[in-house]
Amino acid sequence: MSDTIPNKSPNIKPKKHSLHKKLIILVALVFLVSGAVAVWWYVNNRSNNQAALVQARLQAEQAKVQEKATKSENVYYVASKNAASGNYVASQAVLDKALKDVSGSSEQADLYIQKSSIALNAREYGDAYGFAQQAEKLDPTVSSAQLMAEAAAKKGNNAEAITNYKLAISRITGTSELDELDKQNLQDAIKQLGGQQ
């Protein structure tokens, strides 16, 4: 025997299976790649749609807040205008009507603060104190305590005024220059009434 390698005969054809297998693998790869692209597209568009929905909700909420703020400013403007022209009763009626249109205690308290402020400026100190008390019951704030103090001082009840000024000071929790100035003004009011801070 010889050590030679036999020649391949030109009559031998390659197997069809290998071409068929290559086509199947190619088709499978195409399906995998197109599936991955489809999943990527879905995820990307879904998160874009969710971001758009969140943005739309935020814009709607901001519009509602702006509408409420504008409405509140308009109500206070009309009430103040009536009070400035000497029509205290009409100014309070505007705010009373606005009170019927709001349901939240914070919104109601804001309107009572406005009523108290207008009453104080109109020298209706009993009303001013009563409206500030209503605000205090609904949503205790620096403003409600300060208005109760100012009305009590105007009515001559210095002890009540000092107590409420101290309450207002205790509610100022910030440390900005404006907060410090507010504290100082309230402490000065206490001193003017003969109290100590």
Could you give the residue ranges of the DSSP H alpha helices within 85-141? 88-101, 105-121, 125-138
| Higher pLDDT pick, 2 / 101 | 101
Whole-number pLDDT of residue 76: 80
Please report which confidence band the pLDDT of residue 167 belongs to, taking 50, 70 and 90 as the band edges: very high
Burial class (CB in 10 A: 0-12, 13-18, 19+), 156: exposed
Q: pLDDT-derived band of residue 82, with 50, 70 and 90 as boundaries?
A: confident
- Is 0.85 surpassed by the pTM of this model? no
* 180 pLDDT more than 80: yes
The CATH superfamily holding the domain 105-197 is: Tetratricopeptide repeat domain (1.25.40.10)
pLDDT, tens only, 108-125 = 999 999 999 999 989 999
Q: Which two tokens stand for residue 137?
A: 């019951």
28-68 per-position pLDDT tens digit? 777 777 777 777 776 666 655 666 666 667 666 766 666 66
Give me 110's structure tokens: 């804001």
Q: What are the residue ranges spanned by the domains of the chain?
A: 105-197
